[in-house]
Structure 1
Amino acid sequence: MKRSQLRSGYTLPVFACAAAIAALHWLHKKQGMTSVNVNLIHPAEIVKIPIEQVAGVAQGALAITRSDPGDNLDLTRNTPIWALVEPRTEGQAVAIRGGEGIGKINATGEAAIYRYAQQLIQENLTQLLQPGEKIAVTIILPEGRQLAERTSNAAFGVVEGLSLLGTSGIAQPLSAPEQLEAFREELQAKSHLDCLVFCIGENGLDLATQMGINSERLVKTANWLGPLLVEAAMQQVAAILLFGYHGKLMKLAGGIFHTHHHLADGRREILTAYAANAGLPTPVLQTLFTSSTAEAALKYLRKADAQAGSNWVNTVYGAIAQSIDQRTQEYIYKHSTRQLQVGSVLFDRDRQIIVKSEIGSTLLAHLC
């Protein structure tokens, strides 16, 4: 299938917003709707979203739509999204809540409804409110808990359901190899900037934005880091900041430049090798090597540091970050005969920065 034939869809926040619009319409008109218009904001586009059902419940209204991510390998395809809209008498005009199936951020207990989803629902519904009207919007994913078991949400500190995450309303078919060409086009459009920030997924994009990095500099790479690094060099980009989850980016320290686990993994081997090179004791190395995930290994190292007063996390991850920079520069030069500045920043499942390489720290200070 050619890239031009691949069909884009919409992200979960768009369907949640559409259901809320339909439920609010029922409150006002006592009429159902078969579709609603949603302003995506990012991009600035109005789209029509089908509505499956609308009904009055108690003092409010409930509307249902279904996820359609387009030609993408997305486990939320066709999952129902409910929105319950109820009138309220105090507080902000639109209060957004997470119901059943919406994950909770483990560290705070808050619903995992992130910035773009909040903005989308707030802006679309506020303009439809009657003078002085206040509402509560509860988003429900009936299949959310079950689907979450098949994701890496728990690795990022989200439990009991799925996140309403994303920085755009458009769901591109990122799983298709043909999408690499679209990534190249996006990068080329930004190549006039002195420094770009490569983020593998939505968690990196969202955290980078929260830290104050201009979204114009952000490039989503999915797992196509190798070819896009070379493309950046060919476009004469001066510097790249690799900004990502440590379980993904550490693969680069092992020379793996396509990070999908179906092609290559090696995380525990890489982490154990760098720990051995740093002189950590054999029992520690054995525990790292048998850890179920990179996050479990990091947690173990932090606990060991706390108990022994050591500094193994900084030592090991500092070496990994420096190696990421070096091996990335070597990879770029090997495939393009060009040189550019590369820095790295690695974060954990709680979106806390673990380590910045020396170049990464300099680039991050410049970008923020």
Structure 2
Amino acid sequence: MEAEGKELRRGWTTGTCATAAAKAACSALLGHGFPDPVEVTLPGGQRPAFSLALEELGDGFARAGIIKDAGDDPDVTHGALIIATIRRGEQGKGLRFSAGKGVGTVTRPGLPIPPGEPAINPVPRQMITASIAEVAGETMDFEVEISIPDGEALAQKTLNPRLGIVGGLSVLGTTGIVIPFSCSAWIHSIWRGIDVARAEGLTHVAGSTGMTTEKAVQAHHNLPETALLDMGDFVGGMLKYLRKHPVPKVTVAGGVAKMTKLAQGMLDVHSKRGLADLEALAKVAVEAGADAALADEIAKANSVLHAFQLAEAKGLSLGNHVAALAWKTAAKALQSPEIALEVLVFDREGRLVGEAPFMPSDQTSASPLPDRNRRT
């Protein structure tokens, strides 16, 4: 991985760290001591080794900890201490997982783990089970408690509270490896948000590109928190999942720059994927009623925001036309008669400056402009 000429380090998931800690603790509980470093097997077959940051052997339990290294990824859990405590369990009951301090508990349906269970995802559970089997053989009657001392505070910086995971972080990972600046983790969190909304029977969800638009769309439609999807730049990732897992009403909400990019056919609206085409925006302005002088100013504007300010100063409503084109791009990704799609455009203050009202997303040949804004 490289970014701007710098090679980026990969890191380890919380699931991998919990696995290494659990294996070391189980070894100590069985009288074999704490292996340091401790090796674990990842789903892809890799065998990384980890140094222990904590070792504790007590009456009926063993505890080990690993400091998580997320590499060069801006992960909120980078540097967190991941602890596994192993105790003997009831004979014949197999492995039982529990949430210690800083690890959340699932309270809502729709996630990979059912309500009432500790938020330790399926792949980390499988990895922990396999690693304990390496040291315990067929003797698998253990209680495995995973804790993250600062997890409850760190979880407030994640989507866990919205997804109904209370009390702390989730123990996550599908490959065991954190890829720096990975899109996949964000997109998967969007998918889980959709799963939760569907499980709760919600009929309307709204994906937003940022906090300002999220607050604005929530107020606009009076939506519950579980209907809000932190879509970020990944419009396509959200819409393609919704196409296979439909919700009756979907709102796409964003600021003027990102919705202009969506209007110009970009389903990933991150700045690294390209800038909005101001000359193309000037042509949209002409369709909205701009004269040649204004169109020329828009084409030469410093930014999309500047272009909107120029249009507004001349009394031209550019937002509805941008929303209509953005609707067409988004509708092509959905193309479902089961889903009514709406696009809302907000400025930096959260003021609504453009809208394409709800229409079935398979009607891509129709105009989503509000009647009052259609040109005759």
| 2:188 corresponds to which of 202, 216, 221 | 202
2-side partners of 1:25 and 1:97: how far apart?
Answer: 19
| 2:249 corresponds to which of 318, 334, 340 | 318
Change (3 A) 1:200 1:129: same
| 1:39 corresponds to which of 38, 41, 52 | 41
Deviation of 1:6 (Å)? 0.8
In the superposition, the TM-score normalised over structure 1's length comes to: 0.56
Change (3 A) 1:25 1:132: closer
Aligned to 1:14: 16
* Alpha-carbon RMSD: 4.3
Change (3 A) 1:30 1:167: closer
CA contact (8 A) 2:163 2:226 kept: no
2-side partners of 1:199 and 1:16: how far apart?
Answer: 18
Please list every run of 5 or more consecutive structure 1 residues that lacks an aligned counterpart in the other structure: 184-197, 211-244, 252-258, 276-287, 299-315, 347-356, 360-368
Compare CA radii of gyration and give the structure with the larger one: 2
Change (3 A) 1:68 1:58: same
- The residue correspondences of 1:274-353 to structure 2 (distance < 5 A) are 275=221, 288=222, 294-295=225-226, 318=249, 320=251, 331-332=265-266, 341-343=332-334
Work out the number of aligned pairs and report it: 249
Deviation of 1:148 (Å)? 1.8
| 1:167 corresponds to which of 148, 169, 174 | 174
Q: Is the aligned partner of 1:155 residue 2:162?
A: yes
CA contact (8 A) 1:112 1:158 kept: yes
| 1:136 corresponds to which of 135, 143, 154 | 143
CA contact (8 A) 1:61 1:84 kept: yes
Change (3 A) 1:3 1:59: farther
Change (3 A) 1:133 1:14: closer
Aligned to 2:50: 49
Aligned to 1:72: 73
| CA-to-aligned-CA distance 1:193-234 (integer Å, 9 cap, x gap) | xxxxx8843334668999xxxxxxxxxxxxxxxxxxxxxxxx
% identical aligned pairs = 23
2-side partners of 1:4 and 1:100: how far apart?
Answer: 37
| CA-to-aligned-CA distance 1:74-101 (integer Å, 9 cap, x gap) | 2212111111111224244322221121
In the superposition, the TM-score normalised over structure 2's length comes to: 0.55
CA contact (8 A) 1:166 1:202 kept: no
1-side partners of 2:151 and 2:185: how far apart?
Answer: 25
Q: Is the aligned partner of 1:61 residue 2:62?
A: yes
- The residue correspondences of 1:90-105 to structure 2 (distance < 5 A) are 90-105=91-106
1-side partners of 2:335 and 2:121: how far apart?
Answer: 24
CA contact (8 A) 1:101 1:161 kept: yes
CA contact (8 A) 1:14 1:40 kept: yes
Pick the structure with more helix per residue. Answer: 1
1-side partners of 2:61 and 2:129: how far apart?
Answer: 18
1-side partners of 2:83 and 2:185: how far apart?
Answer: 30
2-side partners of 1:127 and 1:344: how far apart?
Answer: 49
Aligned to 1:362: none
| CA-to-aligned-CA distance 1:309-351 (integer Å, 9 cap, x gap) | xxxxxxx96263799xxx958524998x9x99512899xxxxx
Deviation of 1:30 (Å)? 4.2
| 1:266 corresponds to which of 201, 213, 233 | 213
2-side partners of 1:344 and 1:118: how far apart?
Answer: 37
Deviation of 1:66 (Å)? 0.9
1-side partners of 2:227 and 2:76: how far apart?
Answer: 25
Give the counterpart letter for 1:331 in structure 2. Answer: G
